[in-house]
Amino acid sequence: MKGETIMSENNILPFPGKEEKCECSGHPEPIKKQISSYVLREPRRWVSTLEGLPNPDVQVVIRLYDESQIMSETETEIFPAEDLKIGRFTENGWIIDPPYPKYDYSPLSHKGKINENTTVTHWAIPAEGELEGWETRFNRIREYKKLEIHVDPENEELVYKALLWGGAYIARFAGPEMDSPDSELRQYYEVLCDLQQYIDSHGIEKQA
């Protein structure tokens, strides 16, 4: 495949760093933080869009990036906002492939459209089973004889956000325990996801 990741040996993007003065004694010189990426650390054969583009209308993994938003920061690194999606390059530019959630809170895109200040910096061939996983990502996780949630339209998004945040906090609290299918916390997480899926399935969108 043409092109490789543009990461350095330390998995740090070769972009200019951000200087910050260190207030502690013994460090009079400014500390230069590196601009880094979590997404590009994934073991894929990333291709920079500056080096080449995929064939038109072929599904690929894409990395969305917005340097104006800071996702996280450490003492030595800055991580601008980035996201990973399945999409394709068309005659009208990049698009994100469906399905789309009923409520989309992605910071760099909305449903099939990429935000104005966001760019696609890299793409990669999907791994085996990854496209199927994307297409079924809103499917129910667990089996139930019956699981439904009914909310009036005025409060539906509030309930949706509560389920979303609840699942996120459980996943963060559980940590490695989430890897065990028998974990009680993982079961709580899956139930919240399935309730969220119920709302999505009644407003799932197949087009941008």
Q: How confident is the model at residue 16 (pLDDT cuts 50, 70, 90)?
A: very low
Q: How confident is the model at residue 14 (pLDDT cuts 50, 70, 90)?
A: very low
pLDDT (tens digit per residue) in 111-124:
999 999 999 999 99
Q: How far is CA 103 from the centre of its chain?
A: 15
Q: How many other CB atoms are there within 10 angstroms of residue 38's CB atom?
A: 12
- Amino acid in position 125: I
For 3-112, strand residue ranges (E) read: 18-20, 31-35, 47-48, 60-73, 77-90, 93-96, 109-110
Q: How many other CB atoms are there within 10 angstroms of residue 35's CB atom?
A: 16
Which pLDDT score is estimated for 98?
93
Q: What average pLDDT does the chain have?
A: 84
* Backbone angles phi and psi of 174, in degrees to 5: -70, -35
Work out the percent of the chain whose per-residue pLDDT is above 90: 62
Q: Where are the domains of the chain?
A: 18-135, 138-208
Lowest-confidence pick of 2-16, 80-94, 147-161: 2-16
pLDDT (tens digit per residue) in 42-79:
889 999 999 999 999 999 999 999 988 888 888 888 88
Average of per-residue pLDDT across 161-171: 95
Whether residue 41 is predicted with pLDDT greater than 80 in this model: the reply is yes
Whole-angstrom CA distances from 179 to 93, 120, 169, 183, 193 are 37, 31, 15, 8, 16
* Backbone angles phi and psi of 164, in degrees to 5: -60, -50
Quick check: helix, strand or coil at residue 196? helix
